[in-house]
Amino acid sequence: MGNMLQGYGIFSYALLIFLCLHLEGQYYSYAKGCDFFQGSWVYDGVWAMWDWQSHITQVPTYDTSGCPFVEEEFDCQKNGQPDDQYLKYRWKPDACALPRIRIYHKFLIFQRIYMVHIQWGGHAEEVKGEKIIFVGDSLSLNQWQLLTCMLYAAVPQTHYTITRKEAISTFSLPDYDVSVTLSRNAFLVDLVNTVVGRVLKLDSIENGDAWRGYDMLIFNTWHWWLHKGSQQPWDYIEAGGEILKDMDRLVAFREGLTTWSKWVDNNVDFSNTKVFFQGISPTHYNGKIGMGQTQQLAMDKLNQ
């Protein structure tokens, strides 16, 4: 089983970095103009953190064993991963340095952005809690699982809650008024059970009502649009008021995204809400790399 981070690719991990940096829309000057998508993985076996008494504390890097609610399939060590070197890499953008999610003087900080309140020069500024939602297929599940475990690792002693109602799961840190939600929806548009069977409605997105009121929305869809046979999760497609047994999948994908984009335009206040969409993830089959290596290969070797 590979590293939980390795499956995301550069876009996904850079997105998680951006989530941390962009909470409340605030940036520190060192992050302005930094392209988080341009960078490399660097070895960083242990992080140093400065505590309130100005003592250096050695903090281990993120580890699934420290996340009590990690799902079994994401716990690489528990599933027999023979080494732990992959846990000691972090993503470093070329144009800036990013510190770790951490606690400083009992206030939660995401990459030096205060979420609960800011103390500076004797003044305290109250800021509202953040609500983030991932919407999509298993890639969204992976990202949600990683971010929630990272948040827990930052405040392991604080109270947290995880609730699930049908396709909606929410992780919350009540003390910090922070929540991260997952909406399992592989197509973004509606997939409904009817008397004739399961119908994928390309022109309907009523499930979008559950996405309102969030500060950040992260969408992805692609993988399930191509499945056929027993792996196809629908029986019919409805497009333009017509029920079809099948249609060109790329055309269906375009129709579904058109419906989704209209929903975003009509329901999102872009002055207060950030929206991300991740398209097709890169795939890698039958390659000769990744065959037992415990260290990252240099780019020149990857290109050979």
- Assess if residue 3 is contained within a domain: no
Within 8 A by CB and 6+ apart from 110, the residues are 19, 20, 21, 23, 101
At 39 the three-state DSSP class reads: strand
- Assess if residue 57 is contained within a domain: yes
- Assess if residue 288 is contained within a domain: no
Phi then psi dihedrals of residue 150, to 5 deg: -65, -40
**One pLDDT digit (tens) per residue for the chain, 304 residues:** 344 444 445 455 555 555 554 443 334 434 566 777 788 888 776 554 444 444 444 444 566 777 888 888 878 878 887 777 777 777 788 888 766 554 333 333 333 333 333 232 322 223 347 899 999 998 899 889 888 887 887 777 788 999 999 999 999 988 888 899 999 999 999 999 999 999 999 999 999 999 999 999 999 999 899 999 999 999 999 999 999 999 999 999 999 999 999 999 999 999 889 899 987 777 766 666 656 666 666 655 554 5
Domains: count for the chain: 1
Within 8 A by CB and 6+ apart from 266, the residues are none
Q: Write out the residue range of the structural domain in which residue 121 sits.
A: 9-278
- Assess if residue 292 is contained within a domain: no
- Assess if residue 304 is contained within a domain: no
- Assess if residue 296 is contained within a domain: no
Strands (DSSP E) along the chain, which ranges?
39-43, 46-50, 56-60, 89-93, 102-104, 107-110, 113-114, 117-120, 123-126, 131-136, 161-165, 168-173, 178-184, 190-194, 197-201, 216-220, 236-239, 242-244, 274-278
Tens-digit pLDDT profile for residues 111-167:
333 333 323 232 222 334 789 999 999 889 988 988 888 788 777 778 899 999 999
Q: pTM value? A: 0.75
Short-list 154, 61, 143, 64, CA closest to 116? 154
At 195 the three-state DSSP class reads: coil
Short-list 229, 208, 228, CA closest to 217? 208
